[in-house]
Structure 1
Amino acid sequence: MSNHRERVTVVIRTKNREQLLARALDDVLAQTFDDWRLIVVNDGGQRRPVDALIQQRTFHDRVEVIHVDGGTGSMEAAANLGAQKADSEFVIIHDDDDTWDPQFLEVMVAALDADEDAVAAAARTEIIFERVDADRITELGRAPFVPPGEIVTMYDLLQTNRVVPIGLLVRRRVYDEIGWYDPALKVVGDWEFNLRLVRHGRVLFVGEEPLAFWHQRPQATGAASNSVFGESLGHMQFDRMVRDEALREYVDRNGIGGLLYLSKYIEETVRHYSLQQTVRRALHRPFAKLRRRRR
C-alpha cells in the first residue's frame, strides 16, 4: 500500500447533471499536473449515473465518491464534506459545470510553491456562456471575470465576490485556521469564505491568460441552471444576511453613530448630484433645440 500523499485534493460537488459531470471528470484527467486526488460528492443525486461515469474512466485509485442520500442541504455543506477529507497541501472546489485550462494545476501549484506566505492563489478566469441540449453543449460567448486591478483585495470583495471556486486553490491548513464554508448559506458561501480568506492573508492573482472557466447558462432551468440565475432571490437574501451579521458585530463594538452619519451623508450626496444632473439635462434641451433650428 502506498503512503504517497497527493499535493492537491479536487472536490467536485454534483447532483443529477450527468452531461456536465462527464465534462468535469475529463477536465481533471486532462491536467498536465497529475499529483492529485479527486473526491466527488453526489449531493442527493442518483447514484448509478455517477458510479457509471467514474467506472468509464481510468483514475488509478485516485477517486473517491461520497453519495449523500437526501442531500447535505447546501452547496457549502457538500464542499465541506469533500474538503474535510483532504490530506493534501492544497484543496480546490471544482463544480461539476466548470472547467480548467489543462495547465491550471501545474501553474497554480508552482505559484504557491514560489510564495510560501500566500494563503491561496486565484486564477485569471473567463465566463463561458453556454446552452445545454440533450446531445451537446453549445458555447454562446465569453467574457472576462477578473478582479479590478488584477489583484484580490478586501476592498473589492466588500462590494461583490471577485473569485469563484473553480479559480481558487487554497492551502489545506487555511481551513483549520479560518474555518470551513458556512453550511447555513445555501448560496454566496464562497463569497463569505473569501472575505475571511483575505482577512487571514494574501491571495495571489495568477495567469496572463485565462486558466479557469466559469460556465453560465442564463436561460437554463432545473438541474442545468446556475445558482446565480436560478437562485437570484436567494443570492440577494443571503448577501444581505452576511452583511447584516457583520454590521451587527461592528455596531456592537463601535456603536451606531458613525454609520448613521455615513448613511445619511451618502444618501444626500447622491441625491444632490442626481438633482444637478437633472437640472443640467433640463437646461440643455432648449439650447439643443435652438441649435437644431438654426441649422
Structure 2
Amino acid sequence: MSATVTVVVRTRNRPAMLTRALGSIGSQTFTDYEVVIVNDAGDEAEVASVVDAQDAELRAKIQVVTNAVSKGREAALDCGLQASHNRYYAVHDDDDSWHPEFLARTVAYLDEHPDAGGVATRCEIIRERVRADGTCTEIEREVLSTDMYGLSLVDMMVENYTPPISQLIRREVADRVGHWDGSLQTQADWDFNLRLLADSPVGFIDEGPLAFWHHRDTLDPSLGNSIVTDAYLHTWDNLHIRDRYLRAMLATEDPSSPHLGQALLTAEYYRRTREELLRVDSGMHSSLNLVHVNLLNTMKALHQEVHELREEVAALRQELEDKPTLGESLRSAATAPTRAARRLFKRG
C-alpha cells in the first residue's frame, strides 16, 4: 500500500474511542492516506470489530499491527512507522480528533515548503467526561497556547506546547533526526520536537483549530490522559531528557562548542523561575482576595447596622405618631405636685 500520508493510530482496549478516531480520519477531505492501527497488546477481536464496522473505502486504507506484548505508548509509534514509509506521517491517537480539513491544509503546506521538517496547526483542548460504556460527553473547550504564533526551538526548550495530533511530519527528516525514543514512558513527542526543530524549521497554520486534543476527567490509566494519570512521569521524563542532553554536552571534546544541552539547562532554569513567579503571583492574588472578602464582610456588617438603626428610628417616629399627647402627659406629670399642694391648702 502506498499513499502520501501515513496516519498512525495507537490504541489499547478503547473500542469506543477508536471508533471516534477512525470517524475523524474517515471524514478528511484529503483522501490519499493509509492508516496503521497499532494495537499495543489489546483485544484483537475488539479492534477487528471496530475496523469491520467502517465503510469499505476506509477499511481498504487500514492495516493493523498487533503487539503480542505491550511495548508502551511511546514505542508503539515506531511499530506503526515500520509498517509504512510514505512521504508524510501523522500521529492520530485513538482519543483525539481532527477537523475535516486537517490533512488537506497540512499536506498543502509541506508540499509548498520543502524546507520544513513538519507543520503544526492551532489546537483546541476538549475536556470531556467518560461514560460507563467508554464513550465521552464534552464539557468545555479551550484553545491551546493562544499566545503562540508559530513553532520555535527557543519556546520548545521551555515546554512542549504542540501535541502530536496537531502535527504532520516529513518522513525523511524524521528518519534523519531519529524517531520517538521508545525507552521513555512519556515526553517522547517533546524530545522528538526538540531534535526536529534543531534540524529544520517547522511551519504553523495560524487559523482556527484544525486539531482537537481530548482530555478526560478520570484517573483511570486505561481511559485517561497520561498528562493527568502519569503526571509524575511527565515531570521525571522531562528532567531525564534535559539531563541526557546536558551529559552529552559535557562529554564533548570542546566544552565551549554550542550544544542543545546547555540551552536546555538555561531553559529549565527559566521554567523554574517562571513557576516560582507564578506561585508568588498566585499567593498575592490569594491575599488580595482575602482582603477583598474581609472588606465585603465588613461592609455587609455596616450595612446591617445602618439598616437596624433605620428601623429603630422608624419605630420611634411611629411611636410618636401613635401618642400625640405624649408631650402633654409629660407636662402634666411635671405639674402634678403643684396641684396636690393646692388641694391640701384648701382642706386646711
Q: What TM-score bracket applies, with the shorter chain setting the length?
A: 0.7 to 0.9
Aligned partner of residue 39 in structure 1, secondary structure: strand
Query: What residue is the counterpart of 2:110 in the other structure?
Result: 112
Mapped to 2, the partners of 1:220 and 1:130 lie a distance apart of 13
Q: Is contact 2:130-2:218 (8 Å) kept? A: no
Aligned partner of residue 235 in structure 2, secondary structure: helix
After superposition, give the CA deviation of every residue in 1:221-255 in whole Å (9 maximum; x if it has no partner). Answer: 13111100011111111111001111122233427
Counterpart of 1:37 (choices 24, 34, 37) is 34
Query: What residue is the counterpart of 1:171 in the other structure?
Result: 170
Aligned partner of residue 150 in structure 1, secondary structure: coil
Aligned CA distance change for structure 1 residues 257 and 206 (closer, same or farther; 3 Å): closer
Q: Is contact 1:147-1:163 (8 Å) kept? A: no
Matches within 5 A, 1:20-59: 20-57=17-54, 58=56, 59=58
> Is 1:251 paired with 2:250?
yes
Q: Which amino acid aligns with 1:108?
A: T
Larger radius of gyration: 2
Mapped to 2, the partners of 1:60 and 1:25 lie a distance apart of 10
Q: Is contact 1:148-1:156 (8 Å) kept? A: no
Offset at residue 219 of structure 1 (A): 2.8
Matches within 5 A, 1:201-240: 201-240=200-239
Offset at residue 148 of structure 1 (A): 4.1
Query: What residue is the counterpart of 2:337 in the other structure?
Result: none
Q: Which amino acid aligns with 2:76?
A: A
Mapped to 1, the partners of 2:82 and 2:158 lie a distance apart of 29
Aligned partner of residue 83 in structure 1, secondary structure: helix
Offset at residue 60 of structure 1 (A): 4.8
* Structural RMSD (CA): 3.0
Q: Which amino acid aligns with 1:39?
A: V
Mapped to 2, the partners of 1:147 and 1:241 lie a distance apart of 28
Where does the alignment leave 5 or more consecutive residues of structure 2 unmatched? 299-348
> Is 1:193 paired with 2:192?
yes
Q: Is contact 1:131-1:220 (8 Å) kept? A: no
Query: What residue is the counterpart of 1:127 in the other structure?
Result: 125
Counterpart of 1:96 (choices 94, 97, 100) is 94
Mapped to 2, the partners of 1:236 and 1:176 lie a distance apart of 27
Aligned CA distance change for structure 1 residues 60 and 142 (closer, same or farther; 3 Å): closer
Query: What residue is the counterpart of 2:6 in the other structure?
Result: 9
Offset at residue 171 of structure 1 (A): 0.8
Q: Is contact 1:123-1:168 (8 Å) kept? A: yes
Mapped to 2, the partners of 1:44 and 1:250 lie a distance apart of 38
Mapped to 2, the partners of 1:122 and 1:222 lie a distance apart of 27
Give % identity.
34
Aligned CA distance change for structure 1 residues 149 and 257 (closer, same or farther; 3 Å): closer
How many pairs were matched up?
A: 272
Where does the alignment leave 5 or more consecutive residues of structure 1 unmatched? none
| Structure ranking higher on relative contact order (CA contacts 8 Å, 6+ apart) | 1
Q: Is contact 1:147-1:156 (8 Å) kept? A: no
Which one is further off, 33-42 or 126-135?
Answer: 126-135
After superposition, give the CA deviation of every residue in 1:150-204 in whole Å (9 maximum; x if it has no partner). Answer: 1101111111101111111001111221111101001000000000000010100
Aligned partner of residue 221 in structure 1, secondary structure: coil
Mapped to 2, the partners of 1:257 and 1:215 lie a distance apart of 34
Aligned partner of residue 106 in structure 1, secondary structure: helix
Larger helix fraction of residues: 2
Mapped to 1, the partners of 2:189 and 2:62 lie a distance apart of 24
Q: Is contact 2:74-2:188 (8 Å) kept? A: yes
Aligned CA distance change for structure 1 residues 85 and 257 (closer, same or farther; 3 Å): closer
Q: Which amino acid aligns with 2:78?
A: N
Aligned partner of residue 223 in structure 1, secondary structure: coil
Mapped to 2, the partners of 1:149 and 1:180 lie a distance apart of 25
> Is 1:78 paired with 2:50?
no
